[in-house]
Amino acid sequence: MRIIISGGGTGGHIFPAVSIANALRQLRPDVKILFVGAEGRMEMQRVPDAGYEIKGLPIRGLKRPLYSPANISVALDYLKSKRIVKGIIKDFQPDVAVGVGGYASSATLDAAHQAGIPCLIQEQNSYAGVTNKMLAKKAEKICVAYDGMERFFPAEKIIKTGNPVRQALIETSITKEEARKQYGLDPQKKTILLVGGSLGARTVNESVMSHLDDIRKADDKQFIWQTGKYYSQDIQERLAKEEPVANLKVLDFISDMGAAYKAADLVVSRAGASSISEFCLIGKPVILVPSPNVAEDHQTKNAMALVNNGAALMVPDAEAADKLIPLAMQTVDDNAQLESMSANVLKMALPDSAMIIAHEVLKLAGQPAMDNGEASKLAMDNGEWKMDNGETSKLAMDNGEKAAPVLNDEATLDKYKSVYFVGAGGIGMSAIARYFLHKGLFTAGYDKTPSPLTEQLQKEGMHLHFTDDTAQIPEECKDPKTTLVVYTPAIPDDHSELNFFRSNGFTIEKRAQVLGELTRTHKGLCVAGTHGKTTTSSMTAHILHQSHIDCNAFLGGITKNYGTNYILADSDFVVIEADEFDRSFHWLRPYVSVITSADADHLDIYGTEEAYLESFSHYTSLIQPGGALIIHKGLKVKEQLQEGVRRYEYSLNEGDFHAENIKIDNGEITFDFISPFGNVTAVSLGQPVPVNIENAVAAMAMSQIAGCSEDELRNAMATFQGVDRRFDFKIKTPKLVMLSDYAHHPKEIYQSAKSIRELYKDRKITAIFQPHLYTRTRDFYKDFAESLSLLDKVVLCDIYPAREQPIEGVTSKLIYDNLKPGVEKEMIHKEDVVEYVKTHDIDVLVILGAGDLDNYCGQIEQALREKYGVKD
């Protein structure tokens, strides 16, 4: 069962698309879903965040006026996108194509229609978008949220389904009084909620600011005001100059909208289609302020659909500054009007939209839902969907799982007695597992293969098994009310244990979501980048842990100083390695962040280098006002910093932070750290590797901003012992050297090879390299060969597949054939590496790669020690 879903550009398109995918997965657990979006648009980060694969197209919207010369390139991009999507469809072989509006939908559904694939489109607004109007003739079914859509679409194709919404808003069990107490408000006072989206709405904000005196005097009322992160700092600075307003709760962002809606007697909001659908389902009286900056003024048309039914009030954007707050205060006092608006808006609700649409998709595919006794209770009657018990379904899901809790305090964690990890043995997952073990929770999980790390976790008390078998899940982890499930995106969609948790109502979070909550409750010091982030974050953690500040830390490697990838301390700071794979770092909210590099990687996820760079660009927007970005000089990342975020550059020998007077002599490295906050002279590297000079500059910069002193910086760098598999010396004598390095990207290998060459100029250097991932090898085999050619001899093992299936024609021989002339080269199986070092001359040996070749390092070291008579 294969479905393509295409569209995006805004949350109003993306959220319904993800909800439809979640419903399809609920009805057919065996379904394979592929999203197609527009490169550089919001969907390229939001869809992977929701756990789905997405392919990007170089497609853009038409410019105004239509005869603009710029539209020539737009047309060429559309034709290119059509060619790309035809290939996607040929490879994926979908049963149905679903379009939700947005640039990518047009090319995708056009190509699907030409290939004879049934198409369904979903229109969220009361005024149809241009793309959906163009696609109407090619679609078998058209799902709409409003009456009167026959003026846009053929009547015989229309199904009124409503818009999918966040089910957590409906299912919240919090009472109005509890919700108000949660925001520190009086449980008895009338409450008005003012929202303008996550980024905010200038008009709503200015209306509040211009009526602060009126709000202050209305002591029988109280207000919750989401300013939006974009405007937050400016609003806070302006409020600081005003007299306090005791009845005004000001927030830059509201994460729990269910509680906020429950607390409110009246809501003031923009008129986006998704928001209006939510108001209908929860029966909330609302004053709508349509945004004037949308195509075809569709928010006004959305609002009028409610206003004409007595279900809402509307204030035009141009009049809001003067009229909005007075009207809101007048309306909230009119109980009869509130009750009337609530009753009328409820009449417009269309529950179970996502499930209804998913059923229509399955019908087009000619395949029924797989009902396991928990599936939909919907029944067809005279062509309309109805609930067989008259109740709203509780089955719709948010982001593929139940809405995740906020793990931001001990009280929240107290509800969980156990944590289960699906994919427990990864270096990042194991750090989180250790966190919960330390908290005293029953901790268990699955991983594909045993390893020294899983063995250590078992010794620390974690219950692990290595077969995908639901029968092996401990009884302590089978209660959805008391068990939190954490999973890695590397786990395939058909994993039976993960699907067991999904289908039985467990709270499921990515590792990155858990870390993201920690950055909301601590000052997050986050290190991102294609390479260098593990060493830099480990250095930072060591500096802070040795200082008067201390820190918590979740690292991507085992530090030699502490023998772990996790540090727990009573500190406001948390050091986190910010992983760009699957856009996981978008869950974080850093206080200070370093970006070490942004060389294209994970193109199986991102598709293009442009999309990869865009993910870093979005990441920079997440740094908190008052914090700082420390970025490597010369990166192609287009930063999107919030107001109040300081920006610094660093590199080896230039930038705000850099090194001078570098001395590499007799296995030791010293340098002076140059900083706008005070230089630190005579810094000695405890792990004297040339590439670590630049990593040290970044780590010291972040630690200095956090408050570490000159002596603390100098002393910590001298005692830093390194990280397992990061320039990890196993043997280091005058006649024999062996080290292991996790380098698995061409630029990482280049840095590793360059550093080894600097240290051992006149010696023969042999590398045994295991490529990691078929897609990475396919995309960068020439770059791998270029970097490895810095060495004297290269021994290539088979590709380590990790989460991937083999790709025809992609093997290690692609690298082998492109090594430069003069480089000695061989190809062997990993099982033969120990015998290989026994029978070949070795001077300096480096084991390279992120796969499982490192598991043989102990045997290789022992064989070399015995062969050359090396002790210590």
Q: Which residue has the tokens 């918590």?
A: 552
What average pLDDT does the segment 471-496 reach?
88
- Is there a contact between 98 and 121 (Cβ–Cβ < 8 Å)? yes
Q: Which residues contact 373 (CB under 8 A, 6 or more apart)?
A: none
Name every residue whose Cβ is closer than 8 Å to that of residue 317 and which is 6 or more positions away in sequence. 203, 289, 290, 291, 292
Q: For all residues of the chain together, what is the average pLDDT? A: 84
Is the separation of the CB atoms in 274 and 313 below 8 Å? no
Q: List, edge to edge, every strand of the sheet that includes 668-674.
A: 658-665, 668-674, 680-684
Backbone angles phi, psi at 837, to 5 degrees: -70, -25
Calpha distance 459→478 (Å, rounded): 23
Q: How buried is 493 (Cβ within 10 angstroms: 0-12 exposed, 13-18 middle, 19+ buried)?
A: middle
% of the chain exceeding 90 in pLDDT: 41
Q: What is the pLDDT of residue 393?
A: 28
Tell me the average pLDDT across 528-537.
Answer: 90
pLDDT above 80 (res 404): no
Task: Judge whether residue 868 has pLDDT over 70.
Answer: yes
Q: Please report, to the nearest 10 degrees, the dihedral formed by the alpha carbons of residues 422, 427, 431, 433 taken in order.
A: 20
What angle separates helix 320-332 from helix 202-209, to the nearest 10 degrees?
Answer: 70
Task: Give every CB contact of residue 250 below 8 A, 6+ residues apart in sequence.
Answer: 225, 227, 235, 236, 239
Collapsed DSSP state (helix, strand, coil) of residue 778: helix
Residue pLDDT, tens place only, 798-841: 999 876 788 888 999 999 999 999 999 999 999 999 999 999 99
pLDDT for the residue numbered 402: 30
Q: Which residues contact 176 (CB under 8 A, 6 or more apart)?
A: 187, 262, 263
Which token pair is 47? 């869809």
334 vs 7, 109, 266, 535, CA distance in Å?
42, 48, 11, 61
The β-bridge relationship of strands 668-674 and 680-684 is antiparallel
| pLDDT band at residue 376 using 50, 70 and 90 as cut-offs | very low
User: What are the residues whose beta carbons fall under 8 Å from the beta carbon of 335, sequence distance 6 or more?
Assistant: none
The alpha helices in 28-175, defined as continuous H runs, are 43-49, 70-92, 103-114, 130-135, 167-171
pLDDT of residue 5: 96
Which residue, among 252, 701, 708, 699, has the nearest Cα to 520 in the 3D structure?
Answer: 252
- Quick check: 205 pLDDT over 60? yes
Structure tokens at 130: 């241009």
pLDDT of res. 96: 95
Q: pLDDT by residue (tens digit) across 185-202?
A: 999 999 999 987 655 578
The answer to whether residues 28 and 370 touch, using CB atoms and an 8 Å cutoff, is: yes
Residues facing residue 846 across a β-bridge: 739, 767
Neighbour tally for 211: CB within 10 Å: 19
Tell me the domains of the chain and their CATH numbers: 2-163 (3.40.50.2000), 168-347 (3.40.50.2000), 412-510 (3.40.50.720), 522-719 (3.40.1190.10), 728-868 (3.90.190.20)
Residue 234's pLDDT is: 86
Are 752 and 741 spatial neighbours (Cβ–Cβ below 8 Å)?
Answer: yes
Q: How many helices (H) and strands (E) does the chain have?
A: 31, 36
For residue 832, which amino acid is it?
D
DSSP string of 544-608, one letter each residue: HHTSSS--EEE-SS-BTTTSSSEE--S-SEEEEEE--GGGGGGG---SEEEE-------HHHHSS
Report d(CA 352, CA 27) in Å as an integer: 13
Asked if residue 233 has pLDDT above 80, the reply is yes
Question: Residue 624: which of 591, 594, 576 has the closest Cα?
Answer: 591
Determine the pLDDT at residue 388: 31
Beta bridge partners of 266: 192
Residue 405 reports pLDDT greater than 70: no
Q: Give the number of other CB atoms < 10 A from CB of residue 73.
A: 11
293 CB burial (10 A radius; 0-12, 13-18, 19+): exposed
Beta strand 566-567 with 266-269 is: unpaired
Separation CA 83–CA 138 (nearest Å): 18
Q: Write down the pLDDT at residue 455.
A: 92
Output the pLDDT for position 301: 82
- Is residue 766 a contact partner of residue 844, using CB atoms and an 8 Å limit? yes
Can you read off the two tokens belonging to residue 32?
Answer: 């394979």
Distances (CA, A) of 92 to 77, 89, 250, 538: 22, 5, 48, 41
How far apart are the C-alpha atoms of 614 and 583, rounded to whole Å? 10
335-349, 399-413, 475-489, 723-737, range with the lowest pLDDT: 399-413
* pLDDT(372) > 70: no
Measure the N-to-C terminal CA separation of the chain; round to a whole number of Å.
59
How far is it, in rounded angstroms, from Cα 567 to Cα 431? 9
Strands 418-422 and 221-226: unpaired
H or E stretch including 230? none
Each residue's pLDDT tens digit, 668-726: 899 999 999 999 999 999 888 888 899 999 999 999 999 999 999 999 999 998 887 77
Half-sphere exposure of 798 (CA within 13 A, CB side): 10
The rounded distance, in Å, linking the Cα atoms of 679 and 675 is 5
Statement: residue 335 has pLDDT above 50: yes
Please give the pLDDT value at position 715: 95
Query: What 8-state DSSP symbol labels residue 376?
Result: -
